[in-house]
Amino acid sequence: MDKKKITIYDTTLRDGSQGIGISFSLQDKIRIARELDKLKIDYIEGGWPGANPKDTQFFEEIKKAEIRHSKIAAFSSTKRHKLKCDEDPLVQAMINSEADVLSVFAKTWDFHVTKALGISLEDNLNLIYDTIAYMKDKGYPVFMDAEHFFDGYRNNPDYAIKTILKAKSAGVDMAVLCDTNGGVLPDEIYEITKSVLEECGIPLGIHCHNDSGTAVANSLSALKGGAVSVQGTINGLGERCGNADLCSIIPNALLKMNYTADCSAELERLTEVSRFVSETANVAHNEALPFVGGYAFAHKAGIHVSAVNKDSKTYEHISPELVGNKREVTISDQSGKSNFLFKAKELGIELSENENIISEIISKVKKLEDQGFQFESAEASLELFIQEIQKNYSPFFLLKGFRIISEKKEDSTFTSCEASIKIEVNGETSHTAANGNGPVAALDNALRKALISFYPEIDEVHLSDYKVRVLDSKSGTGSSVRVLMEQGNRSDRWTTIGVSENIIEASWQAMVDGIEYMLYKKKQGKNKEQSERV
């Protein structure tokens, strides 16, 4: 069976930027547009020219960005009532944007026409016709976003259909049916889309919001109903509960529903683009996202890992590589032998063939997990732990003791901290002290100061992330805490963990593991280099 061609219309830069906490700079928008172009997204909605200086400037700057595949779309409303198109500044801003496509949103719900716009239903039809006809006369392809269409169709189907037919008579290239409030369910989306197509005979698109948690399902249902274009945002960004997530729509449509699109050839870029948008938006990437999240192909239960090792289809609906993702196996209290074998191979660890040692590793990890350790996010600590049990690693220094003093003076807003520490390296003792803006920082500074003469390479190591999680809040300030510490140097990053009822002790565990891991990997590299020379 031949695949049906659809187009993908991305509105991350416009609708997605309306999400709470999301703000793209002009350069952010240009960079995202370039990535979407590499993914071969058909249409990129850049913003609303004339609404703000940044969006207006975007359409000037994007011309210099060497966009090779995607068509750039500008977004605005129909002209204002009682103004001619050549008098309306927003309509003129659309024309002046020189975008490849003009997307105009229009009221299709009679309730909105009379209540929000405060005009007659006939006047609204004239606004639709005049605006689209004017833009078509200027030589532009025009899409009409039929705002609140499904609510309008429920309330007054005859009028909703009239708005589409009026746009058709003005020469519109596509009518995009919008579930603006996100309250419609998939079956109804399918039936209405199918009916509109039969009655109007015009190319249809779909634009859904996720207020009912069904935006992706609604979009796919509209495709089944005859829509030929689907709108959405990367990672589902958007106001309220977000827009339909293109990172789920695209692989579902292309891999499971017999559709094809230009982005089919670049599907393996999907995860990369998803993470790029999260990073550019300065938000934590949602690792639970289908297809593109870090957990999408992660396996924790031992029985799952055992099955996946035999055939990935046992617990994976697609191959992760198709969307540029990868399989992950985590180590936890639910892990079995298969998890450890898989994870060891992934980390490049040669496990002992001694079954007793493997059993000891599994047993000890599960006990630590019971105490609150979580090695899923701290693979550096896990590797050190495994190698220590196998006697392939021993600590590079020994702690003899440390002391931390925190002092806050009357009327001061600053608490000063000083840490003194005594360590031993190969029988030689180092005793130093250092200050910091907090007890953990002071201890970190003191430890580095004590070690620098023995291991100068630690000067390259820096802290890049520090997270504290309270494990049992019922114990109040005496609760156990889990500390995750990400450290790195010029070429690598690694995460370590510590757990204790004392936040200083938990931080110390993670801090020491981080430095030990760097020294261990450095030693491994030197040993490998020497063996290769031999």
- Asked whether residue 382 is assigned to any structural domain, the reply reads no
Amino acid 304: pLDDT: 61
Closest by CA to 260, choosing from 42, 61, 112, 58, is 42
Amino acid 269: pLDDT: 93
pLDDT of residue 457 exceeding 80: yes
Cα separation of 379 and 364, whole Å?
15
Whether residue 441 is found in the same domain as residue 324: no
- Asked whether residue 316 is assigned to any structural domain, the reply reads yes
Q: What are phi and psi of 303, to 5 degrees?
A: -65, -30
Whether residue 528 is found in the same domain as residue 410: no
- Asked whether residue 402 is assigned to any structural domain, the reply reads yes
Amino acid 367: pLDDT: 81
Amino acid 332: pLDDT: 54
Instruction: Report H helices in 281-378.
Output: 302-310, 337-347, 355-371
Contact 169, 129 (CB under 8 A): yes
pLDDT digits (tens, 9 = 90+) for 2-54: 899 999 999 999 999 999 989 899 989 999 999 999 999 999 999 999 888 99
- Buried b / exposed e over 400-426, threshold 16 CB at 10 Å, is eebebeeeeeeeeeeeebbbbbbbebe
pLDDT digits (tens, 9 = 90+) for 219-265: 999 999 999 999 999 999 999 999 999 999 999 999 999 999 999 99
Q: Which CATH number does the domain housing residue 402 bear?
A: 3.30.160
Whether residue 430 is found in the same domain as residue 356: no
Contact 31, 281 (CB under 8 A): no
Range of the domain at 362: 298-371
Kindly state the helix (H) or strand (E) to which residue 31 belongs, with its residue range: helix 26-38
Whether residue 475 is found in the same domain as residue 515: yes
Residue 180 — pLDDT band, cuts 50, 70, 90? very high
Domain termination site, one of 234, 253, 280: 280
Burial of 250 (0-12, 13-18, 19+ CB in 10 A): buried
Domain termination site, one of 454, 475, 490: 454
Whether residue 210 is found in the same domain as residue 324: no
Whether residue 474 is found in the same domain as residue 363: no
Average pLDDT, the chain: 89
Whether residue 477 is found in the same domain as residue 524: yes
Residue 337 — pLDDT band, cuts 50, 70, 90? low
Cα separation of 143 and 40, whole Å?
20
- Asked whether residue 392 is assigned to any structural domain, the reply reads no
Whether residue 130 is found in the same domain as residue 227: yes
Whether residue 107 is found in the same domain as residue 249: yes
Q: Which CATH number does the domain housing residue 516 bear?
A: 3.30.160.340
Whether residue 180 is found in the same domain as residue 250: yes
Whether residue 409 is found in the same domain as residue 514: no
Contact 417, 439 (CB under 8 A): yes
Cα separation of 200 and 441, whole Å?
67
Q: What is the DSSP string of 239-306?
A: STT-B-BHHHHHHHHHHHSSEE-GGGGGGGGHHHHHHHHHHHTT----TTSTTTSTTTTEE-SHHHHH
Domain termination site, one of 337, 371, 405: 371
Closest by CA to 369, choosing from 343, 328, 329, 331, is 331
- Asked whether residue 383 is assigned to any structural domain, the reply reads no
Whether residue 108 is found in the same domain as residue 252: yes
CA 439 to chain centroid, in Å, comes to 33
Q: Which CATH number does the domain housing residue 40 bear?
A: 3.20.20.70
Sign, CA dihedral 263-247-56-30, equals negative
Cα separation of 337 and 335, whole Å?
7
pLDDT digits (tens, 9 = 90+) for 388-412: 888 888 999 999 999 999 998 887 7
Amino acid 163: pLDDT: 98
DSSP, collapsed to helix, strand or coil, labels residue 348 as coil
- Asked whether residue 510 is assigned to any structural domain, the reply reads yes
Q: Is the pTM of this model over 0.75?
A: no
Q: Give the alpha-carbon dihedral of 178, 180, 182, 183, to 10 degrees.
A: -90
Among 84-88, 147-151, 327-331, the range scoring the smallest mean pLDDT is 327-331
Q: Which residue has the higher pLDDT, 444 or 287?
A: 444
Burial of 525 (0-12, 13-18, 19+ CB in 10 A): exposed
Pairing label, strands 204-208, 43-47: unpaired
- Asked whether residue 265 is assigned to any structural domain, the reply reads yes
Length of the chain as a residue count:
534
- Asked whether residue 207 is assigned to any structural domain, the reply reads yes
Number of domains composing the chain: 4
The mean per-residue pLDDT over the stretch 343-351 comes to 71
